[in-house]
Amino acid sequence: MSLRVLAAGHLTTVQDRGRPGWASLGVPRAGALDAPAAGLANRLVGNPAGAAVLEVTLGGLAVRADRDCWVAVTGAEGPVTVDGRPRGHARPERLLAGALLEVGTPWRGVRSYVAVAGGIAVEPVLGSRSTDTLAWVGPPRVEAGVVLPVGDPAGPPAPLDTPRPGRPGPLRLHPGPRADWFAGDPLAAMCHAAYTVEEASNRVGLRLAGPPLERVRTGELASEGMVLGAVQVPPSGRPVVFLADHPVTGGYPVVAVVDPADLWICAQLRPGDEVRFSPARPAAGAAPTR
């Protein structure tokens, strides 16, 4: 079966869990920015965790299926309709052949996820169906007029799932490898300050305005590998939190790293939203997270 896209809004992309493992060739990991929301959407329609979903930025998506199927919309909450009639958020919904599913502008948050039973079945690139918006590795962005193939459903929908806490807290910070390039205790300074999300934020990074971090070491840093959640500080002193499409190497010092469990919050922050940080508790004998 397939989905015909009639409108794709500001930016809609296909995303799964990304393509980690290719950084040494210069390939960003990509993948759903709000990974828990994408995972929930997949569970609701009975998909395996690695199935590809649609990531819709600030709504504006309209699709029509050519066969009856289960769909679920999670992440940023907003109007979801089928043929104009309201449907639920974060629950499996039956979409009949020919009916129009619309995901409107969210009331809060930025990115909504649309899972279809069977998963979006575009051709994988380097083992993933995710679109990376930095280098455009992966399938092209979803645009009006395209027809997206959908795979065969793997199992029945799962109407019951545990909702996640709705209120995001401060972003927990681990010390970065170049914290010593900054004056005083830069993590403490960040945890005491309030930042604002800047307009230029995207899948590459969450750009923050706030009190600039003062550098004590001048000179250039040789480019080095960057991790997901790295808080890089360019000469302006305004931090950038690296998200899924971040460049694999960078030449500005990384003062801190946002805890992986808090990255979904970054995916849902809008320009103008306030951001607070708090120190992450170092995990004793930390287990690998991936």
Enumerate binding residues for other proteins (CB under 8 A): 20-27, 125-126, 135, 137, 174-177, 222-227, 229-230, 247-249, 254, 257-260, 280, 282-283, 285-290
Query: Least distance (Å) from other proteins to the CB of residue 175?
Result: 7
Q: Which is nearer to other proteins, 119 or 229 (CB)?
A: 229
| Gap between the Cα atoms of 119 and 282, Å rounded | 37
Q: Which is nearer to other proteins, 224 or 274 (CB)?
A: 224
What are phi and psi for residue 267, nearest 5 degrees? Answer: -65, -25
Q: Which is nearer to other proteins, 211 or 225 (CB)?
A: 225
| Gap between the Cα atoms of 168 and 188, Å rounded | 20
Which of 111, 9, 93 minimizes the C-alpha distance to 53? 111
Q: Which is nearer to other proteins, 154 or 227 (CB)?
A: 227
Provide the pairing of β-strand 171-175 with 277-279: parallel
Query: Least distance (Å) from other proteins to the CB of residue 245?
Result: 12
Query: Least distance (Å) from other proteins to the CB of residue 43?
Result: 24
Q: Which is nearer to other proteins, 104 or 175 (CB)?
A: 175
CB crowding 141-150: b at 16 or more within 10 Å, else e: ebeeebebeb
Query: Least distance (Å) from other proteins to the CB of residue 47?
Result: 23
In the chain, the amino acid numbered 118 is: G
Query: Least distance (Å) from other proteins to the CB of residue 282?
Result: 8
DSSP string, 219-255: SPPPPEE--TTEEE--TT---EEE-TT--SEESS-EE
